[in-house]
Amino acid sequence: MDLKFRVFAYISKPVHEVFEAVADPAQLSHYFTTGGAKGRLEEGATVTWDFHDFPGAFPVYVTEVVPDERIVLEWKANEQGENVPDYRTTVTMAFKPTDDGRTMVEIAEEGWRETPTGLKASYGNCMGWAQMLAALKAWAEHGINLREGMYR
């Protein structure tokens, strides 16, 4: 079994605005990284993200950026358990303009170990990325932070 998933959403804003809402740490901190983001998502950068539900900033390694099209990053797999080795999963965010001026954002993640705890970790991240897309939509379209108070 290859543990990977894909989630997507349509955002009613032009692709450049949506891309910037993800790449810019100030914007990302308003609706997703509830504890803050430090560093712009640029190819070769190591940035930090912090979440109230997973306290303690952790590194995010940006491996590829094509402005207004794609961001690829790696981060430590959130697999819990005894004797779990440190390893990373790969997250690919794709930004695609639509004919009606909206943006389709697709987020895919892969690379977990094929174990029960790897499967559980992948489900947790799938939930998190789906929430991120909902929060991105609310933020980009209406300036609303859906995650405020969600985990405290």
CATH number, domain at 84? 3.30.530.20
**Domain presence at residue 151:** no
**Domain presence at residue 40:** yes
**Domain presence at residue 95:** yes
Q: In what order do the strands lie in the sheet with 103-110?
A: 4-11, 103-110, 88-97, 70-76, 54-66, 46-51, 36-38
Better-scored residue on pLDDT, 29 or 84? 29
**Domain presence at residue 17:** yes
**47-83 pLDDT per residue, tens:** 999 988 777 889 999 999 999 999 999 999 988 877 8
**Domain presence at residue 58:** yes
Instruction: Decide: 36 and 29 in contact? Cβ < 8 Å.
Output: yes
Task: Report the C-alpha gap between 136 and 106 in whole angstroms.
Answer: 12
**Domain presence at residue 150:** no
**Domain presence at residue 149:** no
| Domain housing 132 | 4-142
**Domain presence at residue 50:** yes
Highest-confidence segment of 33-37, 138-142, 147-151:
138-142
> Would you say how long the chain is, in residues?
152
Number of domains in the chain: 1
